Amino acid sequence: MVVKPKVRGFICTTAHPKGCMAYVKKQINYIKSKQKFNCPKKVLVIGCSTGYGLASRIACAFGGDASTIGVMFEHPCSGKRTATAGWYNTAAFEKFAQKQGLYAKTINGDAFSSDVKQQTIDIIKSDLDKVDMVIYSLAAPRRTMSDGTTVSSVLKTVGKQYTNKTIDLKDNTVSEITIHSATPQEIEDTIKVMGGEDWKDWISALKNANAIEDDAITVAYSYIGPELTFPIYAEGTIGMAKKHLLQTSNEITKEFDNIKAYVSVNKALVTQSSAAIPIVPLYITILYKVMKEKSLHEGCIEQMYRLFGKNLALKPNLDAKGRIRLDDYELRPDVQEKVTLAWNKIKSDNVNEFADIKGYWNEFYEMFGFGLPNVDYNEDVEI
Ligand code: NAD
């Protein structure tokens, strides 16, 4: 079947199998162009199929020769519906890993469930005995709790409502949006979904099953961003969850022998999750323009090479709160000064002057396997 992109809101409902393969290959080639590094060799990646988790898996496997077990929540194709991008990415990753003689297995299911935790432990015990690194890169809209109830995360402010600019990427219009404040229940639910509770549950489950090395490391991802996004991010519901994540990293380090837990604060990037946050995509398009002009732009794979190849492979460079900071270029004063100037001036009729709309869309389409070089998009492909 000939597969074309079908964009609905901030998501593309189709994915191109050959394009996703090219997308994964591009990231592998980037890692292979860098010097090999020393990283843990038996790595579990929770949320391994897209965005930061996929890039982490590629970096550890192809840069550090790691065996990897991945956990994801993706759909295979059904009838004329293509599989999700993460499903094709993972099929491609496993194929390239196998070719390179690298162990790679993936569990497709709900990472929050005890069933998927047990399936993962069974595979670890039979194939690797123990893991020595756990990467927690989940970005989920909801979580089904052990009692069967489901809680959802929301992207709202905490306290006062907030009005600022946003972009409608369908037609590049800049308008104002008001983000309403969350109820106490919504804040609590967002922390349940995106905070650290499930991360710690994973470490406990692995520890109880003797499936994690005593001196293992574990890392989860966070974001801070500039002041203009504070009300919707760092000080909003998602920010509350990220505070909980940081608190959990301290608890894990304290409670589990020699296991060391890190939070890495990453750069704002186009991913399936960040595209859903109001205000943030406009900030990202402006940030991309400024960072590209200053030759500072990085994608997920460049960030993850810095994390595993430069930071965790050596001695991690931590800030005063004990976090790894990969958002250092993004938050450089000269970058943020230019972003603020552009933010104040941007409106519908000058978006291209101040924002990298084309760059945003290129990365957006690439996430679903579209717009990659050397892929024939008019060709019939097996989905
Ligand atoms: P993403 O949407 O690209 O990836 C999410 C991953 O989680 C996918 O592999 C998906 O299959 C998996 N997943 C979702 N629900 C699941 C479930 N119930 N069970 C199993 N797997 C599930 O997201 P991303 O942007 O790469 O985000 C990963 C982490 O990085 C998040 O914690 C996010 O907050 C953080 N982060 C993102 C940015 C950004 O700008 N994108 C910046 C800094 C930090």
Sort residue 158 into left (φ over 0), alpha (ψ -120 to 50) or beta: beta
pLDDT at 381 (0 to 100): 96
Over residues 197-209, mean pLDDT? 98
Burial status of residue 315 (CB atoms within 10 A of its CB: 0-12, 13-18, 19 or more): exposed
Residue 233 is among the residues annotated as catalytic for this protein: yes
Q: What is the mean pLDDT of residues 358-378?
A: 95
Query: What are the pLDDT digits (tens) for 214-263?
Result: 999 999 999 999 999 999 999 999 999 999 999 999 999 999 989 999 99
Mean pLDDT computed over 197-211:
98
Distance CA 154, CA 183 (A): 10
Residue whose CA is at the smallest distance from ligand 1 atom 15: 140
The tens digit of pLDDT for each residue in 63-97 reads 999 999 999 999 999 999 999 999 999 999 999 99
In the predicted structure, residue 334 carries a pLDDT above the cut 90: yes
Is the pLDDT at 18 greater than 90? The verdict is yes
Band (pLDDT 50/70/90 cuts) for residue 168 is confident
| pLDDT exceeds 90 at position 327 | yes
On average, the pLDDT of the chain sits at 95
Check whether 119 has a pLDDT greater than 80: yes
**What average pLDDT does the segment 101-123 reach?**
98
Count of residues making up the chain: 383
Residue 309 CA, ligand 1 centroid: distance in Å: 21
Atom 27 of ligand 1, residue of closest alpha carbon: 139
Residue type, 264: S
pLDDT category at 314 given cuts 50, 70, 90 is confident
Alpha-helical segments (H) within 209-332: 237-255, 280-293, 300-305
Please tell me the predicted confidence (pLDDT) of residue 336: 98
pLDDT reading at 56 higher than 90: yes
Angle of helix 197-208 relative to helix 237-255, nearest 10 degrees, comes to 30
Residue nearest to atom 8 of ligand 1 (CA): 47
Q: How confident is residue 273, by pLDDT bands cut at 50, 70 and 90?
A: confident
Give ligand 1 pocket residues (Cβ under 6 A): 47-53, 71-74, 86, 110-112, 137-140, 221-223, 266, 268-269, 271-274
Residue of 233, 283, 360, 365 with catalytic role: 233
Residue 162, SS3 per DSSP? strand
**What Rg do the C-alpha atoms of the chain give, in angstroms?**
20
Ligand 1 site-directed mutation target among 72, 145, 265, most atoms within 8 Å of CB = 72
Which pLDDT belongs to residue 10? 79
Distance CA 338, CA 43 (A): 39
Q: 322-348: b or e for each residue (b if 16 or more CB lie within 10 Å)?
A: ebbbbbebbeeeebbebbeebbeebee
pLDDT at 144: 97
pLDDT reading at 8 higher than 80: yes
Q: Please tell me the distance between residue 138's alpha carbon and the centre of ligand 1 in angstroms.
A: 4
Q: What is the pTM of this model?
A: 0.97
- Percentage above 70 pLDDT, the chain: 100
